[in-house]
């Protein structure tokens, strides 16, 4: 696997990789949900089953990302945030 964000301590590299992948999947789900909102025929989006399912997936992926992020020591969290912002231009948390 290609290392996008390098951990300070190699012990945490696996968790940093998982955290990054979960965050990118979360962003993909946010984009997908946004597209669903654009094409939804329902006035109340809560009635749209596809939108509700996408929102659940989005929430689950955010929780997964935060679990990985919180498993990292503070120093690794700060490092990951700094490097993420340098790559994407915005913070991951």
Is the separation of the CB atoms in 80 and 72 below 8 Å? yes
CA distance 15 to 10: 10
In this prediction the pTM is 0.85
DSSP run (H or E) holding 70: helix 49-71
Look at residues 9, 76, 6 and name the one whose alpha carbon lies nearest to residue 68. Answer: 76
pLDDT at 37: 75
Please identify which residue in the block is written with the tokens 């509700």: 52
Please identify which residue in the block is written with the tokens 């679990």: 67
CA angle, residues 18, 57, 59, in degrees to nearest 5: 80
The pLDDT tens digits for 46-81 are 666 777 888 899 999 999 999 999 999 999 999 999
């Amino acid at each position: 696997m290609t290392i996008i964000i390098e951990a300070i301590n190699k012990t945490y590299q696996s968790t940093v990789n998982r955290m990054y992948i979960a965050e990118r999947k979360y962003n993909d789900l946010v984009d997908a949900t946004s597209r669903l909102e654009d094409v939804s025929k329902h006035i109340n989006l809560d009635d749209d089953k596809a939108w509700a399912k996408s929102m659940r997936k989005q929430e689950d992926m955010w929780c997964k990302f935060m679990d990985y992020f919180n498993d990292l020591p503070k120093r690794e969290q700060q490092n990951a945030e700094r490097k993420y912002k340098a790559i994407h231009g915005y913070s991951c948390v």
